[in-house]
Structures are given as C-alpha cells and as structure tokens.
C-alpha cells in the first residue's frame, strides 16, 4: 500500500497584528520539511507524525513523505502567498503520484488573508486529485475551528483528546490505524459534524485531571462523554474541537466530529447528543469563575504559606497567539517591590541593551509592551545583567527545538526577567533551567501559558503548590466579551442572548 504523509500546522490568532509570512515558515522559528525531510525529522519522535510513521511501518506500507510546514502561533493571519506555497507543496506531489491512502496532520485553526479556512481548501484539492475512493484520514489539534466542508472530503477526522496535549503520538497512531483498517476493508469510516454555537477562547479549554485544577471546564465533561461513546459498537472515533475563539473567522466555534463504521445516522445522532451537551454546559466557560485580577494574584502569591506559586498569564499566552511581551504581571511585580519571581518577556531591543552592557552591569530598560496595543505598556526597570546566552530548548514532542534566539537574564530586586529575542511558551521547566533558573527554588513563577504548562510543571514534576490563572489583558484573554468579532457566525454564546434551536431533539 502506498500512503502519502503530509501536513500543515498554524494556530492563527487573527487579533495578532503581525502577519505570518512565507519567510516566517521558512525562517528560524518555522518548520518547512520537503519530502524525505519529513520522515528524517519526525521518525522516532513523540509527535503526531512520529505516531503515523511508526504505525504505518507496522502495517507494512510504503509511506511516502510529502511535506510538512509549521509555525508557532506568535504571529497572526497567514499571507495568501504562504498558504499558496504550502498548498502547492502538499497537493502537487500527491496529484503526480498514485496513492492508496492519505494521512494528513492539520492543526484546524489556520486563517489566511483571503482564505478563511485554508485547510479545507487543501483537503478539497487533495480529495479532488485522489478521487472519491482513496481514504483520507486527518489528525487535528483540538484548539481548532473545523469547517463543515472538512466532513465532505475526509473519511475520518480525529482530534487530540487531551489539553494540555499529551497524546500527539497516540492520535498519530490512531489515525494511521483507522486508515489501515479502512484500506483492508475492515471498516468504512463516515463522519458526522455538528457545530454547537459556543465560542471559547484557548484559555478555557483545559480538560486536565491535574490535582490543582479544581474547576473542570465543559471540555472535560464533553470529552468524558465522548470516550464513553467510543466504546459503543459501530463508533470508530469521537473528537471534540473546543474551537479557537482567538481567530475571528467564518468557521470559529466548537465542532463535534463522530466517525462511525458505515452508519452515518448513528454518527449524526451521537454528534447531536454531544452538541446538546456542549450547549447545556456553556456557562462553565465564563471567565469570572476562574480568573484572578493581577494585583490579587501577586498579593496571594507573596503571602502564600507554601511555594512556588505559578501565575498563568492568560492574556499573554504565546501558545494561543500572543507575541509574548505582555507586561501586566511585570508591572504588578514592580508595584509589589520586585518580589522573588521569574518570568519571560520577548523583547529583542532589551536583549540587545543587556548584551551591550555585559554581565554584572546595570542597565535601564523599557521592557515589553511593544507588539500589540492591548498587551500593556513597556515597563521601565533598572536591572543588573546576570547572564547573556543563546537559548534553545527541546520541543515537547522531540522532533525540533524551540529557538529563543539571543537572551539575557536581568534582575531587579528579587525578580529575574528572562529577555529573549523570539517569543516562547514556557510549557516545561526546561525553559527556566536553560536560563539558569530553577523554578522549584522561586516563590513566584510566571508562565506565558494558559494551561499547557500543567502537564510538565504540575503532573510530571509537581513543582507548584498553587496555580493562579491571572486575568491579564492581551489578545489571548479568554474573556470573549473584550473582543470585536466580525466574521464569527451569529448568534453564538456568549456574545449573543438567544435560545438555540438545536438544544432539543432526537
Ligand atoms: Zn492545541
């Protein structure tokens, strides 16, 4: 069996004013793998592609690597030029070859200038060139706005089941296994798709069972019911895309996808049941239930009997599209007299100033707040340079490195600020350790992350004694009412007050 392997990942926060260009995908933060580079880089890793490759080899396929592109979400809307190059790199080689099956890894939240759902276009064109009989299986990230068109072109569409994501590899294996069973004629996968009118931003999608996560957002309960359904005869996969309210697009919103074995009616009934459950649970996404104002959060952390306390900067979540230079918490730490704390800010100007001054010297800096108007003003600080270095950290799936570029650690009072050339999401303690900071030893550890940090910090290493989700401004704030949406289908909760007609039914 000849199976093509391809993909494209970008989670596009359309509120981020800086476009994502072709040069970005091909640049130091991007991934641009052509042909054998895909298998060369991803084989043996815990990524989705790593899982697809391992499982494909177990089935004895002739797995043909086509193309994979990726860029972190710290930049906004993708240029049409970049999307077109990606589309051509995926579709053209598939059109030239002959394939029995197609495996695609798409993020599901990509947005381009004039193409609201570029992944649907890629899927449509792949379907068009392979014809209707070749099974196509897609694996996506649950922070996704899946367009209705996806279900017309793919035979199975399966998403991550965890947030923080710990099942990249498992879903890659599952996607390849579903394709393998379809190719052998054991199953005939068909997908039903429902879109309950619920809008969630990325901060409120955690479904973690981590010990400090006392409140379980709706995604936790939806995923639990989905897992029950998967045990039912005839159901192949149940996936729930939480949606990505950080993109203002025509496909924005939650999506329920049920893949059944030949029985489209069964798939549709189960998808509708989950859509109704999502609607019933919608009020659990209200931010006032879970978020703490900056000043209160810092005060609680300073006076906590046990530490470290992790402050999770919700509005400045680089994994959800923030440029990584929000200053609300930095300003709060300054107002509190620079307590024992460590945090990251992407700010190449300040990095340069620290490099020029040199280790041991004092510098006057205006830190952060330079890339996006809602992210706070630059914070003036006089600081001593403790370290200058180039920073690189292994990415969580092991198939590439996170490049932070030139970096400097500067200290005011007892607060250490890690200034970096490029933004990063501190999802693991390794980021701090690479900068010479042991998070276990600090009273306050700030992460530019909504919830992805929990897997490594909380579950694996048990570092924090308390986690506070901080209500900062910035484009990744989970509070949808702070944003102006122009393209999202209306009505939608919580922007509109309405009764959903799909709330009752079969
Ligand atoms: Zn995600």
- Residue from 56, 58, 24, 25 nearest 39 by CA: 56
* Per-residue confidence (pLDDT) for residue 317, from 0 to 100: 94
Residue pair 309/468 in contact by the 8 Å Cβ criterion: yes
Q: Which residues contact 305 (CB under 8 A, 6 or more apart)?
A: none
How many angstroms is it from 141 CA to the middle of ligand 1? 5
Residue pair 188/267 in contact by the 8 Å Cβ criterion: no
Q: Which two tokens stand for residue 4?
A: 């093509």
* Per-residue confidence (pLDDT) for residue 229, from 0 to 100: 98
| Residue showing tokens 């959800």 | 320
* Per-residue confidence (pLDDT) for residue 214, from 0 to 100: 61
The model carries a pTM of 0.92
* Per-residue confidence (pLDDT) for residue 139, from 0 to 100: 98
How many angstroms is it from 107 CA to the middle of ligand 1? 8
Query: What is the C-alpha separation between 472 and 296, in angstroms, rounded?
Result: 12
How many angstroms is it from 170 CA to the middle of ligand 1? 15
How many angstroms is it from 165 CA to the middle of ligand 1? 7
How many angstroms is it from 241 CA to the middle of ligand 1? 10
* Per-residue confidence (pLDDT) for residue 212, from 0 to 100: 72
Q: Which residues surround ligand 1, an ion (CB under 5 A)?
A: 141, 143
* Per-residue confidence (pLDDT) for residue 203, from 0 to 100: 65
* Per-residue confidence (pLDDT) for residue 397, from 0 to 100: 80
How many angstroms is it from 453 CA to the middle of ligand 1? 12
How many angstroms is it from 134 CA to the middle of ligand 1? 28
> Greatest CA separation found in the chain?
70
How many angstroms is it from 483 CA to the middle of ligand 1? 21
How many angstroms is it from 142 CA to the middle of ligand 1? 6
How many angstroms is it from 109 CA to the middle of ligand 1? 9
How many angstroms is it from 143 CA to the middle of ligand 1? 5
Average pLDDT per consecutive 10 residues, the chain (506 residues; last block may be shorter): 98 96 96 98 97 98 98 96 98 98 98 94 98 98 95 97 92 98 97 95 67 73 94 97 94 97 97 96 79 96 97 94 96 98 98 98 98 93 98 85 95 98 95 97 97 91 95 92 94 94 79
How many angstroms is it from 242 CA to the middle of ligand 1? 9
Q: Are strands 62-70 and 31-34 parallel, antiparallel or unpaired?
A: antiparallel
């Amino acid at each position: 069996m000849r199976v093509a392997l391809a993909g494209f990942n970008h989670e596009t926060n359309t509120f981020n004013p800086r476009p994502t260009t072709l040069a970005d995908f091909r640049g130091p933060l991007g991934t641009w793998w052509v042909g054998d580079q895909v298998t060369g880089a991803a084989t043996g890793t815990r990524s989705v592609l790593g899982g697809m490759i391992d499982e494909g080899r177990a089935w004895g396929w002739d797995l043909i690597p086509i193309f994979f592109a990726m860029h972190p979400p710290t930049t906004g809307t993708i240029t049409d030029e970049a999307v077109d190059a990606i589309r051509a790199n995926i579709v053209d080689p598939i059109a030239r070859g002959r394939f029995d099956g197609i495996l695609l890894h798409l993020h599901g939240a990509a947005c381009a200038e004039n193409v609201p759902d570029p992944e649907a276009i890629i899927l449509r064109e792949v379907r068009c060139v392979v014809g209707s009989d070749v099974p196509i299986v897609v694996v996506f990230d649950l922070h996704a706005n899946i367009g209705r068109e996806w279900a017309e072109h793919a035979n199975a569409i399966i998403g991550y089941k965890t947030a923080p994501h710990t099942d990249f590899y498992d879903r890659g294996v599952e996607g390849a296994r579903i394709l393998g069973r379809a190719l052998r004629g054991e199953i005939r996968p068909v997908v039903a798709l429902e879109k309950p009118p619920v809008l969630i931003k990325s901060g409120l999608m955690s479904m973690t069972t981590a010990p400090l996560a006392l409140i379980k957002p709706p995604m936790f309960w939806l995923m639990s019911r989905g897992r029950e359904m998967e045990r039912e005869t005839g159901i192949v996969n149940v996936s729930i895309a939480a949606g990505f309210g950080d993109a203002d697009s025509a496909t924005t919103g939650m999506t329920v996808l049920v893949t059944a074995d030949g029985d489209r009616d069964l798939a549709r009934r189960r998808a509708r049941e989950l859509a109704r459950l999502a609607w019933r649970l919608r009020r659990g996404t209200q931010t006032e239930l879970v978020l703490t104002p900056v000043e209160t959060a810092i005060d609680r952390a300073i006076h906590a009997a046990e530490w470290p306390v992790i402050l999770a900067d919700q509005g400045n979540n680089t994994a959800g599209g923030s440029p990584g230079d929000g200053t609300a918490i930095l300003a709060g730490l300054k107002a509190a007299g620079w307590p024992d704390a460590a945090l990251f800010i992407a700010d190449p100007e300040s990095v340069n100033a620290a490099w020029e001054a040199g280790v041991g010297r004092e510098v006057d800096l205006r830190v952060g707040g330079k890339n996006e108007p809602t992210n706070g003003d630059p914070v003036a600080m006089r600081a001593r340079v403790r370290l200058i270095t180039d920073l690189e950290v292994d990415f969580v799936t092991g198939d590439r490195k996170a490049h932070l570029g030139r970096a400097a650690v500067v200290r005011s009072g007892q607060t250490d600020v890690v200034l970096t050339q490029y933004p990063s999401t501190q999802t693991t303690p390794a980021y701090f350790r690479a900068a010479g900071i042991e998070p276990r030893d600090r009273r306050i550890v700030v992460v530019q992350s909504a919830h992805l940090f929990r897997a490594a910090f909380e579950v694996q290493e048990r570092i924090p004694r308390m986690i506070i989700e901080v209500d900062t401004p910035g484009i990744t704030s989970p509070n949808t009412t702070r944003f102006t949406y122009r393209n999202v289908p209306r009505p939608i909760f919580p922007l509109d007050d309405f009764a959903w007609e799909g709330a009752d039914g079969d």
